[in-house]
Amino acid sequence: MISEEDLQEGEIVGVVEEEDRGWNTYKLSDGTVIQVKFVLTSVIRTKKRNPDGTPVYAVSGTTMVRTVKVPNELREKTVKKKEPSEVT
């Protein structure tokens, strides 16, 4: 477990994306297909070490999710907005 103290004593390490790994695609049990991608935003190298002597890193980022396919039965019908000229 990484403590707040570990983070404060750690060193911020710059992030350079070597290769765009793209999106992971998943088909859900309801038939929906989504894509997920983790985007790394910061890395801290702590003073802690793994049993093999390598440093322990703390990472933060955001998970992006996009819907690729949704079965028709899960879609809600949308109401067409009236144009200003159609409003009485």
- Please check whether residue 40 is in contact with residue 61, taking contact to mean a CB–CB distance below 8 angstroms: yes
**Would you write out the chain's pLDDT as a tens digit for each of its 88 residues?**
889 999 999 999 998 877 777 899 999 999 999 999 998 999 999 999 999 999 999 999 999 999 999 999 998 887 777 777 666 5
The pLDDT, as a whole number, for residue 76 is 86
The pLDDT, as a whole number, for residue 86 is 64
**Cα(3)–Cα(56) distance, integer angstroms:** 12
- Please check whether residue 40 is in contact with residue 23, taking contact to mean a CB–CB distance below 8 angstroms: no
- Using the 8-state DSSP alphabet, how is residue 78 labeled? P
Domain boundaries of the chain, sorted by first residue: 4-70
